[in-house]
A = this chain, B = another copy of it.
Amino acid sequence: MVARIFATERFPNSVFEMRRDVFQAIADPTRRAIILLVATQAMTPNALAEHFDSSRQAISKHLRILTECELVKQEQSGRKIHYHFNAKKMKEVADFIEPFRQMWDTRFNQLDNLLSTIKTTKK
């Protein structure tokens, strides 16, 4: 549905490369696990698949999605493809979350406590 925006009747799919959303990409637990693995060390699809129950092709599909939203980049060497993590793209998620940080951050809670203590003392 997000992809629909980029597709037209003449180019239903292939040309306007379906751009994925980072949020949609990290929604899947397998993909998050892949990200964690790849962030530590660039890996091939085969190597990655060994860490999961599902087939290599299934992992390949996850990698496609991660590549489309640029959370991961390919580096070809011979017939092998090493996937490595692209941290910059993760910043998009961080940017969304950042405004909420102060709402849960303990430092702010401590500030609240401090303020109420002052209040009480003054009273």
- A39 part of interface (Cβ distance < 8 Å): yes
Query: What copy number does this chain have within its complex?
Result: 2
Describe A's contact surface by its main secondary structure: helix
List chain B residues, Cβ under 8 A from A26: 23, 27, 96
Q: How large is the interface on A (under 10, 10 to 19, 20 to 34, 35 or more residues)?
A: 20 to 34
Question: For A79, what are the chain B residues with a Cβ–Cβ distance below 8 Å?
Answer: none
- Report 19 cross-chain contacts, Cβ distance below 8 Å, ordered by A residue: A2-B29, A21-B27, A23-B27, A24-B27, A26-B27, A26-B96, A32-B96, A39-B99, A39-B100, A39-B103, A87-B103, A87-B104, A90-B97, A90-B103, A90-B104, A91-B104, A93-B93, A94-B97, A94-B101
